[in-house]
Amino acid sequence: MSENKEKKLPLVYLEIDFDDMQSGVDAISFVDMPATEVEWKMFSKESKQIFEKNEVERILTGPVMLAETPIIRFSPFIGEYFIKFSEKTISQMMKKYFKENKIHKVNEHHDSKRQVKDVYMIESFIVNERTKTNIFDVPNGTWMASFFVEDEDYWNNTVMSGEFKGFSLEGMFSEVFEDELIEQVYSKIDKMLEHPDEEFVYDEIKRILNIK
Instruction: Please state the pTM of the whole predicted model.
Output: 0.70
Q: Looking at residue 55, what is its pLDDT?
A: 37
Q: Which amino acid is at 85?
A: F
φ, ψ of residue 140 in degrees (nearest 5) = -60, 145
Q: Looking at residue 205, what is its pLDDT?
A: 67
Query: Any bridge partners for residue 111, and if so which?
Result: 108
117-136: burial string, b at 16+ Cβ within 10 Å, e else: eebebeebebbeeeeeeeeb
* Confidence check: pLDDT of 53 > 70: no
Mean pLDDT of 4-16: 70
Choose among 206, 21, 16: nearest CA to 102. 21
Task: Give the strand order in the sheet containing 143-149.
Answer: 41-43, 59-65, 143-149, 119-126
With pLDDT > 90 as the criterion, what percentage of the chain qualifies?
A: 20
d(CA 80, CA 205) in angstroms, rounded, equals: 17
**Which residue did the predictor score with more confidence, 48 or 181?**
181
Going by pLDDT thresholds of 50, 70 and 90, the confidence category of residue 4 is very low
